Amino acid sequence: MELREEDIAKHIAIAQSLIEGFDHAPRIGKVSDAPAEERSSGIGTRRRFRSTTLGLVTQRRVASGAVQLIARVEAADGDDALMSPLQATVLHVIRRALAIALAVAENFADQSGLADLKRANLEAALLPARKAEFGELLAADALVTLHVFGNATAYLLSSHLTEVTVEVGDVEEVLTDIGQTALHGALWELDQDIAAHASDDHRLVATVAAFAEALMEKVALRATTAPRLEAFSAAAWHVEADDFTVRGFSPASKAKSTKLTMTLKKPNEVVGNHIAKYQSMKLAKMLMAYDFERRLNPFAEMGGFIFTFMGDGAPGTGKTTLIQMMAGLISEYCGHAGYPFRYQNLSTDNIDSYQGKSGQNAKAFINNIIDPSVIGFGTIDDIDQLAGKRGDRQSSAGQLEITAVLMESFAGANTVVRGNCTFGMFSNYPENVDDALRQRAGARFLVDGPQTREDYVDILYLLMGKNHSIPLGDHEVFEAQAIKKAVAASFEGHSRPHEAGLITVYDAVQEKIGALDTINKLGTYLKAIQEADPRFTGRAIKNITDAVKVRAMDFELPDEWMEQPDLFLFKPYDAKKAMIEDMRQPITVEMVVQEINRYADSEFRYADKSDEVAIEGMVRDMGRSVEAKKRYLGGEE
């Protein structure tokens, strides 16, 4: 529903009084006893208060327990006599957020019945049987008020943030008596944080934003066990002037696009890698079917959407080129439609020596990409170096934190796949990735680079450029890269397994039960794979069936639909869904066999490599031991 501007405006006076000053005796939080920072010898951090009465200059004295946010913010830059534009912006944001929170809380009170109970309580007509309900609703009202305040503050300040960050710690003064008391506690703690951390304007903005996010997190955690919140969780309010939407306890964020700085590639510049290239091109167009109003993608609802995928191959086979191609396609399509596009890579720079910080960095990366107000593409290059393998003594605490966050985010209890984003994990050594994390990759892209003679001629022609006069010879450039023809041949190549261990299982099952042409026989084949590799679990079956559904969507949305958004992208959700359903193909047994073999081949390949690496390591250790013993005995002689 629309939160009208007049409903917000009538709370401005209360919000103004809150930032001007009030008294609050903290119940949970502790008053900071840190000494005030001195700007220079003899000059304190608090400027003198200039009264509006002409000729009167006094020193402002803040009583113990008094909260005066205007004075606190004014003092953030030391002894400057004038308030800076950024300080004024922060105060306006806080006042606006307070007014929005109070307006939403008023709406919540009307919808939940709290307003009626408040009136009855004032009239001393509240029935004893409803006192417990009244207390629960007051606590719910306090949680709603606090979360909306934090949400609006973080949202409205987001465009003013810089690279400066501040750690404010956990929010303690979270009171749930009534909404007004809750705001007093929150503003008291915000005042304490500003005093402790905001030594200049940029740190002021960072402090207020960090506090707002910490407050939201604390309140959302409380809300998981608090009753009477259905009227808030099930509704949504939109503030037109700020383009700000309240959706329960989910943080709002501005749909800001990422400015791509990478070198983008066209599909014809990716030589070989036919299946990986084809699925990347399909996935880029699938993302564009996302409906921002419904916050859902028809492909995610019908099945066939790739939320996570693993791209593996030897060094130099084209993983980075594949990322550049896919990011370039999505960016181009979003440009045609006017959609915000966000790309981010989680790199080794996000591993931090401080406990818990690596996990926070990984969670921030996830939240940035899954933001339902944007089209997102997140990549994790060299994931074997970034995410630790559990049980591996060489994995650092930071790497294990990242592994835990990725596992929970990709297939956790709270994971919601809306179809607005996808995550790609890439590695030259996927056997070094934790088994449980690797199995959370719903699709597998084998990035094997150029394979045929035609591929090598094409890549040589492409990389040579045009600054030469060497004749091409008897060759049709890029004919071998005709994607449909190449992909069909690649898929048919998986009608039989490729890995030696899987071939043995496949032949034994076929010899025993014949052709794999029924679900019963396919299930028997899957069980035989599981007996050969215990890591082939139920999650593997889900990934295979998801891949089969993708094959059922084995069509590429027409380029015209991307270039002319009115043809498809801007249509209502149900219309887009119907257009996609018309193009869907029936699932065949050949598709299922090919996808089982593709997935199982990758797992056997990883297992074989992992075992081989372990064996080579043991051989090296034994060799060192033997050589050390020889030297030791030789030294004794």
The full DSSP string for 294-363 is: TTB-HHHHHS---SEEEEE-STTSSHHHHHHHHHHHHHHHHHHHT--EEEEE--GGG--SSTTHHHHHHH
Distances (CA, A) of 133 to 102, 118, 375, 417, 599: 21, 11, 42, 36, 54
Q: Are the C-beta atoms of 391 and 610 separated by less than 8 Å?
A: no
Other CB atoms within 10 A of residue 463 CB: 9
42: tokens are 């003899």
Q: Do residues 458 and 481 make contact, with C-beta atoms less than 8 angstroms apart?
A: yes
Q: Specify the pLDDT at position 480.
A: 62
282 Cβ neighbours under 8 A, 6+ residues apart: 550, 553, 556, 557
Low-confidence residues of the chain: pLDDT under 50:
34-63, 637
Percentage helix, strand, coil for the chain under 3-state DSSP, each rounded to 5: 55, 10, 35
**Rounded CA separation 516/597 (Å):** 12
* Beta carbons within 8 Å of 174's beta carbon, 6+ residues apart: 28, 146, 182, 185, 186, 215, 218, 219, 222
Distance of CA 559 to the CA centre of its chain: 28
Q: Cα–Cα distance between 316 and 271 in angstroms, integer?
A: 12
Distance of alpha carbon 191 from alpha carbon 609, whole angstroms: 57
Q: What is the token pair recorded at 452? A: 């045929």
Query: What pLDDT shows up at residue 253?
Result: 77
Q: According to CATH, where is 3.40.50.300 located in the chain?
A: 267-614
**Which is it for strands 236-239 and 244-247: parallel, antiparallel or unpaired?**
antiparallel
> What is the DSSP pairing of strand 308-312 with strand 443-446?
parallel
What does DSSP assign to residue 429?
A: -
What's the token pair of residue 275? Answer: 């299946």
Please choose, from the candidates 490, 511, 500, 516, the residue with its C-alpha nearest in 3D space to the C-alpha of residue 601. 500
Measured CA to CA, the distance from residue 246 to residue 151 in angstroms comes to 8
pLDDT in tens, 542-576: 888 888 887 887 677 888 999 899 999 999 999 99
Beta-carbon contacts of residue 625 (< 8 Å; ≥ 6 apart): none
**pLDDT number for residue 366:** 93
Provide the pLDDT for residue 492: 76
Q: ∠598-602-603 over CA atoms, to 5°? A: 120
Contact yes or no for 499/431 (Cβ under 8 A)? no
List CB contacts of 560: < 8 A, sequence separation 6 or more. Answer: 567
The whole-number pLDDT of residue 223 equals 93
Closest CA to 594 of 556, 552, 555: 552
Alpha-carbon distance 120 to 126, whole Å? 5
Please give the pLDDT value at position 463: 78
Joined together, the tokens standing for residue 580 give 């996609």
Closest CA to 379 of 229, 505, 260: 260
Query: Rounded distance, CA 306 to CA 308, Å?
Result: 6
Q: What is the pLDDT of residue 109?
A: 94
| d(C-alpha 78, C-alpha 43), whole Å | 9
Phi, psi of 454 (to 5 degrees): -65, -35
**Whether domain 267-614 has CATH 3.40.50.300:** yes
Cβ(575)–Cβ(569) under 8 Å? Answer: no
Report d(CA 309, CA 345) in Å as an integer.
14
Note whether 481 and 456 are within 8 A (CB): no
Task: Quote the CA–CA distance of 135 and 117 in Å, as a whole number.
Answer: 10
Q: Give the integer Cα–Cα distance in Å for 583 and 326.
A: 23
Q: Diameter of the chain by CA atoms?
A: 103
b/e sequence 29-65, b meaning 16+ C-beta within 10 Å: beeeeeeeeeeeeeeebbbeeeeeeeeeeeeeeeeee
Q: What is the pTM of this model?
A: 0.66
Residue with tokens 């990011």: 327
Candidates 518, 497, 516, 557; CA nearest to 304 is 557
Relative to beta strand 375-381, strand 421-427 is: parallel
The pLDDT value recorded for residue 53 is 36
Distance of CA 501 to the CA centre of its chain: 37
What is the number of other CB atoms lying within 10 angstroms of the CB of residue 190? 26
